[in-house]
Amino acid sequence: MSKTLLRGGTVNLNGDLVKADLLIDGTKIAAIGTNLAEPDTTEYDVSGMLVTAGLVDLHVHLRDPGQTAKETIKTGSAAAARGGFTTICAMPNVDPVPDSPARIAEMVARNNAEGLVHIKQYSSITHNRTAGATVDFAGVKAAGAVGVSNDGNGIQSADTMLEALLGAKAAGIPLAEHVEEDSLKHGGVISAGAKADELGVKGLIPAVETSQLARDLALAQSADAPYHVCHVSTATSVNMIRAAKAAGVPVTAEATPHHLLLSDSDIPGDDANYKMNPPLRTRKDCAALLEGLLDGTIDCIATDHAPHTDAEKAQGLCGAPNGITGSETAFASLYTAFVRQDQPKCTLIQLLHWLSAAPATLFKLNAGKLLPGGAADIAVFDLEHGHTVTADEFASKGHNNPFIGHKLYGETVYTFVDGQLVYHEGN
Ligand SMILES: [Zn+2]
């Protein structure tokens, strides 16, 4: 088996930053220590760089099968590798929808064969993601599904949602929900408020999210069933989740980099690279999300990587589909804005926790930690040199990213999955 030595890095040893070498033997981490030397070893000088567990993303859209002009399993996983992610969870809004044990088995086989990183597969909650019957929760779990979600749409019927919570609980599979009350949308494309008025477009009120979240928290409490909230966007939602947790409701939640970093006031005009669902809210909402992470109300960060074609996104705020890419800019955008500041908003260790160990723990994934004897899933980041993001640098097929033109620190230099180098800066 081949051996690889990462020499002289700053290693995030699960919460402690230590100067150390890291030795990979085959697919495993063989040792973390000083002055490690082995014969016949491929060496990488990573002095001055951060060596950490590969990042974990509970929320990506790979568009494959069905929309491969936007992304494929191969390009989406290459984007993840370029962002330092070594385990990602793929949402089921593809065509055909993975909603049966047989289709989950097919997707698991394709993800393993074609993915550059570990790809876990979500099943939908309902058949074909429609208002119909719920899936065979035990069956999709046995076939390898990591969780169930109808992401992309909310479940409009409380009765269906309660049935899903009870079914997922009985099967012991995580349920992750996109909360959105369709009857309150009225054609809105960005958050309701001054920016929507300025641009002359229809707005989405926060209650599109919070009204359904309130329902779901009540249902999760009634069923005493685990419930994970996708991409929380409003301060009111954070307060509701905080209160629910305090009351013992088994709720967990994620926030995206873009909802943490950008507000509707940052939308420069009719630019669909700022159109996503839920929409960008206010600066107060951004601050509330960060506060939620800091006090444990929000459990982790997930990207909602959502690639689209250039032609689709050229249709402006009213015509373009929702979603932006996130895999390749998540760590650097957050590191730059939150950590590399005169007055940091969080520590590097906290940020890495929210992007690796925390999501892995939520879904019981064997990932997110650096341990001798453990899988060699590793990301190496350059924290010292700034880099201006350009539209043509992405491994994703999607270029729909609002951080294009931003100077970011924290570029990925190397990504290893099971000891194999799957990304090298510039390649
Ligand atoms: Zn969603």
Instruction: Give the span between the Cα atoms of 351 and 347, in whole angstroms.
Output: 6
pLDDT band at residue 38 using 50, 70 and 90 as cut-offs: confident
Instruction: Give the span between the Cα atoms of 286 and 193, in whole angstroms.
Output: 15
Residue 248 and residue 296 share a domain: yes
What is the pLDDT at residue 427?
66
Q: Which of 309, 334, 362 is the last residue of a domain?
A: 362
Residue 278 lies in a domain: yes
pLDDT band at residue 1 using 50, 70 and 90 as cut-offs: low
Number of domains in the chain: 2
Query: Whole domain around residue 307: which residue ranges?
Result: 54-362
State the distance from the centre of ligand 1 to the C-alpha of 33, rounded, in angstroms: 42
Residue with the two structure tokens 């009719």: 270
Q: What is the pLDDT of residues 43-77, one digit of tens each?
A: 999 999 999 999 999 999 999 999 999 999 999 99
Residue 152 and residue 228 share a domain: yes
Residue 164 and residue 29 share a domain: no
CATH number for the domain harbouring residue 392: 2.30.40.10
- In the chain, % of residues over pLDDT 90: 98
Residue 368 lies in a domain: no
What is the pLDDT at residue 318?
98
Instruction: Give the span between the Cα atoms of 154 and 143, in whole angstroms.
Output: 25
Q: What is the pLDDT of residues 347-388, one digit of tens each?
A: 999 999 999 999 999 999 999 999 999 999 999 999 999 999
Residue 268 and residue 323 share a domain: yes
Phi and psi of 41, rounded to 5°?
Answer: -120, 135
Q: Which of 313, 331, 362 is the last residue of a domain?
A: 362
Q: What is the pLDDT of residues 235-293, one digit of tens each?
A: 999 999 999 999 999 999 999 999 999 999 999 999 999 999 999 999 999 999 999 99
- Beta carbons of 114 and 74 less than 8 angstroms apart: yes
Q: Which of 362, 389, 415 is the last residue of a domain?
A: 362
Residue 207 and residue 82 share a domain: yes
Out of 99, 264, 299, 304, the active site residue is 304
What is the pLDDT at residue 426?
77
pLDDT band at residue 398 using 50, 70 and 90 as cut-offs: very high
CATH number for the domain harbouring residue 135: 3.20.20.140
Residue 135 lies in a domain: yes
Decide if pLDDT at 102 tops 70.
yes
Decide if pLDDT at 188 tops 80.
yes
State the distance from the centre of ligand 1 to the C-alpha of 160, rounded, in angstroms: 18
Residue 245 and residue 319 share a domain: yes
Please compute the mean of the pLDDT values over residues 389-417 and round it to a whole number: 98
Residue 143 and residue 195 share a domain: yes
What is the pLDDT at residue 331?
99
Instruction: Give the span between the Cα atoms of 236 and 377, in whole angstroms.
Output: 37
Residue 242 and residue 115 share a domain: yes
Tokens for 399?
A: 């270029």
- In the chain, % of residues over pLDDT 70: 100
Annotated catalytic residue 304: yes
Residue 177 and residue 325 share a domain: yes
Decide if pLDDT at 212 tops 70.
yes
Residue 369 lies in a domain: no
Residue 87 lies in a domain: yes
Residue 151 and residue 10 share a domain: no
Please compute the mean of the pLDDT values over residues 329-349 and round it to a whole number: 98
Phi and psi of 24, rounded to 5°?
Answer: -105, 130
Residue 187 and residue 241 share a domain: yes
Decide if pLDDT at 126 tops 70.
yes
Instruction: Give the span between the Cα atoms of 113 and 134, in whole angstroms.
Output: 29
Per the prediction, the chain carries an average pLDDT of 97
Residue 367 lies in a domain: no
CA 107, distance to chain mean position in Å, is 19
pLDDT band at residue 395 using 50, 70 and 90 as cut-offs: very high
- Beta carbons of 396 and 327 less than 8 angstroms apart: yes
What is the pLDDT at residue 14?
85
Residue 286 and residue 409 share a domain: no
What is the pLDDT at residue 132?
86
Instruction: Give the span between the Cα atoms of 329 and 261, in whole angstroms.
Output: 12
The contacts of residue 121 (CB under 8 Å, 6+ apart) are 89, 90, 92, 98, 104, 107, 108, 111, 144, 145, 146
